[in-house]
A = this chain, B = another copy of it.
Amino acid sequence: MKIQHLQGLISAPFTPFDSNGKLDVSLISGYYSFLKKNGITGAFINGSTGEGVSTTMAEKKAVAQAWADCSNQDPDFKVMAFLAGTCLDDCIELAKHAYEIGLYAVSLTGPFYFKPANVDMLAEVCIKVGKEVPNMPFYYYHIPVLTGVNLPMFDLVKALDGKLPNFAGVKYTHEDFMDFQSCMSYENGKYDMLWGRDENMLSALVLGAKGAVGSTFNYAAPLYYDLIDAFNANDLVKARILQQKSINMIRLLGKYGGISVGKAYMKIVGFNLGEFRLPVKNMNAEQFELFKSDVASLNFDEYKSK
């Protein structure tokens, strides 16, 4: 399989729930159009942002189907499905489903209850699942802060190279630039390394990153495209200012409770996707008012997705 190197901003979409917490896939088509209008080049669905670990098998498939329905005819929009879970048979079922409905790629993380003891075990895990969808790019999803699986990706790349032909690269949501760059350099950039920490994008761009997967691209894509443009034009002063704007925006996640704050940002750009499911905490109405005034002071309107 020839490895494609994805470009631009790939969104990690939120999964839409109604006010009762029930999945509402009817919103996905409009969500897709919104992302397209803002230049987004793909979607990493059922991921952390998409709460794949908190939805059932049937829900994950329904989400995947809805994204397939609206985007499968669009060659410029790549959907990759995260195979959330610790049971590899479930992961395989989801992978095969993703393949059957025509998604672009799948992505797996290390099991996060029992953790692989070393890179060889992690490679076995990847091979067991990846080989079931041999004609589909397979990305490892590296997010140790949530999985507790903190093994060097450079070692995983070496372990999978030549062993899993559809291994395409890594969605890298971790701050170990030595490891990230080593993967980038491996065999002249053979693998597709997608950057997954929006707040540090500039530090990855300088290392040659071309594609990124993130949650804040859902609601602030223009900011990041401006940042990429400034970087490409070697206007680093501007690029730093934009990255700092991104940081200030992301700092509100910490202030208001974490990942669920993303859905609050979505409300501000016009999408009510409901709340995060348990165990994630959502802000209450009063906190949302405080949040809105904090957002206002960011001049968020300037760079929000529209």
Q: How large is the interface on A (under 10, 10 to 19, 20 to 34, 35 or more residues)?
A: 35 or more
- Evaluate whether A57 and B57 lie within 8 angstroms (CB atoms) in the complex, with A115-B279, A175-B175 already known: yes
Tell me whether A135 is interfacial, beta carbon within 8 Å: no
CB contacts (< 8 Å) of A122 on chain B: these are 279
**Chain B contacts for A116, CB-based, 8 A:** 278-279
Number of copies: 4
Interface flag for A269 (CB, 8 Å): no
Within 8 A of B (CB), among A7-43: none
A257 at the B interface (CB under 8 A) = yes
The yes or no answer to A182 lying at the interface (CB within 8 A) is yes
Contacts of A166 in B (CB 8 A): none
Could you tell me the distance in whole angstroms from the C-beta of A181 to the nearest C-beta in chain B? 6
The answer on a CB contact under 8 Å between A203 and B185 is no
Interface status of A290 (Cβ within 8 A of chain B): no
The one of B85, B199, B277 in contact with A178, judged by C-beta atoms closer than 8 angstroms, is B199
Check A163 for interface membership: any CB of B closer than 8 A.
Answer: no
Chain B CB within 8 A of A285 CB? no
A88 contact from B89, B177, B277, Cβ within 8 A: B277
Query: A125 at the A/B interface (Cβ < 8 Å)?
Result: yes
* The stretch of A70-78, A215-223, A240-248, A292-300 that contacts the partner chain: A240-248
Pairwise interchain contact A208-B114, C-beta atoms closer than 8 A? no
Contact B53 A114 (CB under 8 A): yes
10 contacts between A and B (CB under 8 A): A48-B114, A54-B88, A175-B175, A177-B200, A178-B247, A181-B244, A200-B203, A202-B207, A203-B203, A203-B207
